[in-house]
Chain A
Amino acid sequence: MNIHNLFTSGLRWLGVLCAMAAVVACSPSGGSLIIPPPAEPVSLVLASHDSFNISEDVLTEFEEANDADVVYLALGDAGETLNKLILSKDAPLADVVFGVDNTFLSRALANDLFVPHESSLLDGIADELKLDPEFGLLPVDFGYINLNADKAWFADRGLALPERLEDLTKPEYAGLLVVQNPATSSPGLAFLLATVSYFGEPAWLDFWSGLLANDVLVTGGWSEAYFDHFTVGSGGAGSRPLVVSYSTSPPADVLYASDGRTEPASVNLNLPLATFRQIEFVGVLQGTQHPDLAKAFVDFMLDVRFQENIPLNMFVYPVNQAAGLPDLFEQFAEVPADPAPMAPEDIDANRRRWIEEWTSVMLI
C-alpha cells in the first residue's frame, strides 16, 4: 500500500470521526449533549440519593398544578448527597433535598442548610419522627433495617429461626449470616448501631467477636450481600440464609419475582430492640430562588397522594398517618414493634469511633 492510499484512508477516517462527532452533537433526541433551552415553567431542582423514585403521574400532577418542572439531581448515596450539599452551600445545587436520614441528621443541621418550613401537614405525622425542632428538615418516610431469613432453608433443616440478637453467635447459626461493612454501607452502619444500642458499650464489641468466631461474612455493600450471598436474593447461588437487609425486602421479593410467586421466600426476623429505624427527611435548601414553590413541593411530598406512592417505589413506609399501605406491605412487611432507640446526636458524635472499633475487632 502506498503513502497516497494511506493518506486518503486517514482523511476518510477522520472524516467519519468528525461526522460522528457532528451526529453526537446535533442529535435531537432526549439526552442530547446540547443544554436544553430554558422552558417556560419554573424548574425546581430536587437533590436526592440514587434510590429516589416516584410515579410519573404523581409528579406530573404537581408540575401541572404549579406550572413547574421538577428536575431530579442524583448525588450518590445518602452520605455523599449530604456532603455535596454542604460543600456547595454557597452556590446551592438544588432547591429541595430529599433523603437526609437520621444517621446524618446532626451533620446536616449543624451546617444550617435549610429554610425552616412548619408545614401544616406535620399534624398528620407521629411526633417521634419529628427530630428537627426548627422544621428545617421534615420527616417524609421511614424504614427498618432488619434481618431477613430464608424460610425454606430453615424449615428444610428443622432449624428454628433466631429469636434474639445474641442467638446469632450460637454454634447452630455458624456460617449463616452475611452483613455489610458499616464504613461503606448504610444498612451495615444501621445494624452496627442496633448492636451498640442493644448491648451497650463496650459489650457490643464482644457480640461482634462472637459473630466473627461464628464465621459471619462481611461485604462492602448491600447489593453484594443480598444478590451474591443471600440464598433467597441470589436465587440459590449464594450460601447464606440470613442477611442484614430491610423490613420491606420480603414484599419486594414478591413484587419483583420472575416466577410469579405470591409469597416471599424470605421473612423478617424482627428481633426485639435490634431493628434500626431509618427516618428520611426533606428540606428546602437555603439560597433557593423559588422558596414558595419549594415549600409547596415539600407539602406535596407530605400529602397523601405522594405518600401513598412511596412504598412501592422506594420500599419504605409513609409518614403521613392518613396514607394507606399496599397489601404487600400489610401482609409481609409488618412494622417492628420495638426498634433500637438511638439519638441522632449520639450517632453523629460516635460514628467514626464505632466504625473504627468495629473494624479493629473484625480485622483480628
Chain B
Amino acid sequence: MNGRLRVLVWALPPFIFLGAFYFLPLVRILVTALGPDRLVGGGQAVLPDWRSLATVLGFTTWQALVSTAASLVAGLPLAWWLRDHGSRLQSVARLLLTVPFVMPVVVTASAFVALMGPSGLLNRWLMGWFDLSVPPIQLMHTFGIIILAHVFYNTSVVVRIVSGFWSQQDRRLADAAGTLGATAWRTLVTVEAPLVLPAAVSSALLVFLFCFSSFGVVLILGGLRFSTLEVAIYRQAVSYFNLPAAAVLALVQLAVTFTAMSLYTRLQRLHAVPQKVEATEQFADDEPRTRGHWIRDGLGTVAALILVSPLAALTVQSFSVGTSEWNLVNYAGLLQGRADSAFLASPVEAVGNSVRNALATMVISLVLGIGMAYTLFLMPGRAGRWLDPVFLLPLGTSAVTLGLGYIISMGPLRTSPLLVPAAHALIASPLVLRVILPALRRLQPGLRQASGVLGATPRQTWWRVELPLILPACAVASVFAFAVSMGEFGASLLIARPEHPTMPLMIFGLLGRPGLANLGQAQAMSVVLMAVTGASMFALDRLPVAIREF
C-alpha cells in the first residue's frame, strides 16, 4: 500500500464524520445567519460594535490564559507525584481527579457556594474562629472564582495526559543522569521535563480551548460582570435572536481558535522526540527528597483540596439537605421518581442512558481520534500543519451556534438517539487526538523499519508493534471520551429526547423547580453521577492491565 493511500484510509472516517456533523451544520447556520435571508424571523440585525467585541475577546483570552496557567500549576505537581507512587494509589487518585470533569456546572456552582459563599462552610468556620462579623471570603462573582472553577474542571486533563505519558518514559535516562551525578531535581528539570513537554503542551492547549469557549462557569459563577464570547453569542442568538451578530461572534471565536492552534501545531512539531517507550508503568519513589519534592507536595495538596472539597461538600449535603440529621431521604426520593409523569424517566434509566451514550461515544471517538492522529502523523509537511488545527476546531466552536446548525441540517436524524453520542464524539475526538498524537510521535522509527525488515506488512507492523505501544495512550483517551460524554450537557439538551434523559439532564430537570426535595435529589443524583463515573473510570483503568494479565 503506498503512502498516500495509507493516509487516505486513516483520514476517511474523520473527514466524513466532521463533514456531516460539523462542517455541514456550521456552514449552513452561518450562511443562514449572514446570507441574503439573514433577517430570518424578523430578528434584529445589529452587528456588535468593535470596541465591545474587543473587550469580550480580550477578557475571553485573558481568563483562558490565566486558567490554563493555573491548571498547569495545579496539575503538574500532581502528575509528578502520581509518577512516583504505587499503581494502586495511582488508580484511586486518578479516579478522584477525573470525577470533577463530569460534574454539571450548576451542581459545581452549588458546591462552591455551599463551601465558599457568604454563608458557606469556610466563612462560617472562619467567622467563628476569628470572631469576625463579615464573611472574610468574598469570592462570589469574581474573576478568582472563575479561575478556581476552571482549575477544578481542567486539572484532571493535565494530570491524566501528563502522567499517562510520563509513566511510559524510559526510566534509564533519568537513572543515567543520576549516575552521572545529577540531583533528582536537576534530572527532573533537564532530562525528564523536556521529554514530557509535548504532553504538557498538549494538555495546556486543550485546557485553553475548554476555557476559551467556557459558558456555564462564566455565566453562573462569574455573574454579570464577566462575559466570554460564548456567553455573548448565547445572548445574541437566544435572547435577541440576532443571528447575524451571533454568527460574527462565532466566526471571531473560530478564527482565534484556529490561530492559537496553528501556533501550537508548529510548536508541537518542534518538540516531539522519538524515544524508547515502555508499555508498562514502573516507577517507584526511591529518590531522596529534595526541596522540589516539598514544593510539589505543597502545590499538589492545595490542588487536590480544590478538586476534592467541592465534591465532598456536595456529598455531605446530599445526605442532609433540608434537615439537620443525616439521612437517605434524597436517595429514597430519587428511587421513587415521579411515578405519574409521562416523560420523567427513573434515575436507573438515566444511569443506563448515560453509560450507554458514554460507551458509544468512546468507541466512535477512538476510531475517529486514532484516524486523525495517523492522518497527521503520516501526512507530510504543510498539509498536516493546516489539518491539525482543523481537527481541533470543534472544541473552539460555539455550541449554541452549532446547535442551531443541527436544527436546520440534520433532517430526520434530529430525533435519532444516535445523534447524542455523535455530538459527544465531536467534542471527544479532538481530545483523543491530542492524547494519541504525542504518543505516536515519540515512537522510534527504527521499530517500524525493523518490523518491515523482518518481513511484516505495514498492517502487521501496526497491529503488532505500534498499536501495543500506543495502547496506554488509547486507555487515557477512552477515559476522557467516556468522561466527556458522561458530563456533557449542552449537546444532550439540544437533541436529547426528554423520555431518555442522561444523568446531567435529569439533574438539570430537578433543579428547574422549587422545593428542597428537588434540590436534595439533584444533589443525590450528582453523587450517583460521581459514583458511576468513578466506577466506570476504575473499570476502564483496569481494562488494559486485566487484559494483559489474562
* Residues on A facing B (Cβ under 8 Å): 1, 3-7, 9-14, 16-18, 20-21, 23-25, 27, 29-33, 35, 45, 50-60, 71-74, 76-77, 79-80, 83-84, 86-88, 91, 93, 107, 110-111, 181, 183-184, 217-221, 223-224, 226-229, 233-239, 245-246, 249, 252-253, 255-259, 313, 315, 351-352, 355, 359, 362-363
B493 lies within 8 A of chain A by Cβ: yes
Known pairs A56-B341, A79-B238, A255-B515; A228 contacts B110 (CB<8 A): yes
Measured between beta carbons, the chain A residues less than 8 angstroms from B494 are 76
What are 28 contact pairs spanning A and B, CB under 8 A?
A1-B279, A7-B464, A7-B465, A9-B468, A13-B474, A13-B543, A21-B363, A23-B359, A50-B498, A55-B341, A76-B494, A84-B407, A91-B411, A93-B414, A111-B41, A111-B42, A184-B239, A219-B223, A221-B106, A221-B219, A224-B110, A228-B114, A235-B520, A237-B117, A252-B514, A257-B515, A258-B333, A362-B224
Indicate if the CB atoms of B342 and A88 lie closer than 8 Å: no
Q: Nearest Cβ in chain B — how far from A147, in angstroms?
A: 14
Indicate if the CB atoms of B516 and A27 lie closer than 8 Å: no
B16 lies within 8 A of chain A by Cβ: no
CB contact list, B327-349 vs A, under 8 A? 329-330, 333, 340-344, 349
Known pairs A9-B547, A21-B359, A87-B407; A363 contacts B225 (CB<8 A): yes
Known pairs A184-B239, A218-B224; A224 contacts B109 (CB<8 A): yes
| Alpha-carbon separation in the docked complex, A10 to B333 (Å) | 44
Indicate if the CB atoms of B343 and A73 lie closer than 8 Å: no
B448 lies within 8 A of chain A by Cβ: no
Known pairs A6-B469, A72-B343, A359-B224; A259 contacts B514 (CB<8 A): no
Q: Nearest Cβ in chain A — how far from B238, in angstroms?
A: 5
Known pairs A87-B408, A235-B321; A228 contacts B417 (CB<8 A): no
Measured between beta carbons, the chain B residues less than 8 angstroms from A29 are 352
Residue of B nearest to A91 (CB): B411
B347-361: CB near A (< 8 Å → 1, else 0) gives 001001100100110
Indicate if the CB atoms of B40 and A87 lie closer than 8 Å: yes
Measured between beta carbons, the chain B residues less than 8 angstroms from A77 are 238
Measured between beta carbons, the chain A residues less than 8 angstroms from B342 are 53-56, 58-60, 72
- The interface size of chain B toward A, counting residues with CB under 8 Å, comes to 99
Q: Which of B237, B468, B475 contacts A6 (CB 8 A)?
A: B468
CB contact list, B108-163 vs A, under 8 A? 109-110, 113-114, 117-120, 140-141
Residue of B nearest to A29 (CB): B352
Measured between beta carbons, the chain A residues less than 8 angstroms from B240 are 351-352, 355
Q: Nearest Cβ in chain A — how far from B519, in angstroms?
A: 5
Q: Which of A32, A54, A220, A352 contacts B219 (CB 8 A)?
A: A220
Indicate if the CB atoms of B359 and A88 lie closer than 8 Å: no
Q: Nearest Cβ in chain A — how far from B241, in angstroms?
A: 6
Indicate if the CB atoms of B463 and A7 lie closer than 8 Å: yes
Residue of A nearest to B237 (CB): A83
Indicate if the CB atoms of A24 and B356 lie closer than 8 Å: yes
Q: Nearest Cβ in chain A — how far from B449, in angstroms?
A: 15
Main secondary structure of the interface of B (DSSP, over half): helix
Measured between beta carbons, the chain A residues less than 8 angstroms from B463 are 7, 10-11
Known pairs A111-B42, A228-B110; A257 contacts B224 (CB<8 A): no
Q: Which of B242, B415, B467 contacts A73 (CB 8 A)?
A: B415
Binds A, one of B256-264, B293-301, B426-434, B504-512: B504-512
Measured between beta carbons, the chain A residues less than 8 angstroms from B42 are 107, 110-111
B235 lies within 8 A of chain A by Cβ: yes
B401-430: CB near A (< 8 Å → 1, else 0) gives 000100110010011111001000000000
Q: Which of B242, B353, B360, B514 contacts A245 (CB 8 A)?
A: B514
| Alpha-carbon separation in the docked complex, A145 to B109 (Å) | 24
The 9 A-B pairs with the shortest beta carbon distances in the complex, nearest first, are: A256-B515, A6-B468, A31-B500, A86-B41, A256-B517, A252-B514, A220-B219, A21-B363, A223-B511
B471 lies within 8 A of chain A by Cβ: yes
| Alpha-carbon separation in the docked complex, A27 to B353 (Å) | 11
Additional pairs, 18, CB under 8 Å, beyond known A83-B41, A238-B119: A7-B468, A10-B463, A13-B543, A16-B543, A24-B359, A27-B356, A35-B417, A50-B493, A50-B512, A53-B343, A86-B41, A226-B514, A227-B110, A227-B519, A228-B109, A228-B113, A239-B117, A257-B322
| Alpha-carbon separation in the docked complex, A37 to B404 (Å) | 27
Indicate if the CB atoms of A253 and B514 lie closer than 8 Å: yes
| Alpha-carbon separation in the docked complex, A362 to B333 (Å) | 40
B496 lies within 8 A of chain A by Cβ: yes
Measured between beta carbons, the chain B residues less than 8 angstroms from A236 are 119
Indicate if the CB atoms of A87 and B41 lie closer than 8 Å: yes
Indicate if the CB atoms of A258 and B352 lie closer than 8 Å: no
| Alpha-carbon separation in the docked complex, A107 to B322 (Å) | 42
B32 lies within 8 A of chain A by Cβ: yes
Indicate if the CB atoms of A224 and B220 lie closer than 8 Å: yes
| Alpha-carbon separation in the docked complex, A88 to B478 (Å) | 35
Indicate if the CB atoms of A233 and B113 lie closer than 8 Å: no
Measured between beta carbons, the chain B residues less than 8 angstroms from A3 are 464-465, 468
Residue of A nearest to B475 (CB): A13
Measured between beta carbons, the chain A residues less than 8 angstroms from B520 are 235, 258
| Alpha-carbon separation in the docked complex, A363 to B511 (Å) | 28
Indicate if the CB atoms of A86 and B40 lie closer than 8 Å: yes
B309 lies within 8 A of chain A by Cβ: no
B513 lies within 8 A of chain A by Cβ: yes
Residue of B nearest to A309 (CB): B340
| Alpha-carbon separation in the docked complex, A6 to B277 (Å) | 13
Residue of A nearest to B140 (CB): A217
Indicate if the CB atoms of B117 and A238 lie closer than 8 Å: yes
Q: Nearest Cβ in chain A — how far from B30, in angstroms?
A: 13
| Alpha-carbon separation in the docked complex, A215 to B519 (Å) | 26
| Alpha-carbon separation in the docked complex, A189 to B225 (Å) | 17
| Alpha-carbon separation in the docked complex, A88 to B412 (Å) | 12
Measured between beta carbons, the chain A residues less than 8 angstroms from B516 are 233, 235, 253, 256-259
Measured between beta carbons, the chain A residues less than 8 angstroms from B140 are 217
Indicate if the CB atoms of B117 and A30 lie closer than 8 Å: no
**Which of B241, B242, B366 has the most chain A CB within a 10 Å cutoff?**
B241
Measured between beta carbons, the chain B residues less than 8 angstroms from A93 are 407, 414
| Alpha-carbon separation in the docked complex, A130 to B474 (Å) | 59
Indicate if the CB atoms of B343 and A258 lie closer than 8 Å: no
Q: Which of A24, A25, A239 contacts B118 (CB 8 A)?
A: A239
Q: Nearest Cβ in chain A — how far from B73, in angstroms?
A: 28
Residue of B nearest to A221 (CB): B220
Indicate if the CB atoms of A233 and B519 lie closer than 8 Å: yes
Indicate if the CB atoms of B32 and A87 lie closer than 8 Å: yes
Indicate if the CB atoms of A235 and B113 lie closer than 8 Å: no
Indicate if the CB atoms of B341 and A17 lie closer than 8 Å: no
Indicate if the CB atoms of B547 and A229 lie closer than 8 Å: no
Q: Nearest Cβ in chain B — how far from A237, in angstroms?
A: 5
Measured between beta carbons, the chain B residues less than 8 angstroms from A25 are 360
Indicate if the CB atoms of A237 and B41 lie closer than 8 Å: no
Measured between beta carbons, the chain A residues less than 8 angstroms from B407 are 84, 87-88, 93
| Alpha-carbon separation in the docked complex, A222 to B296 (Å) | 41
Q: Nearest Cβ in chain A — how far from B304, in angstroms?
A: 24
Known pairs A1-B548, A31-B500; A184 contacts B514 (CB<8 A): no
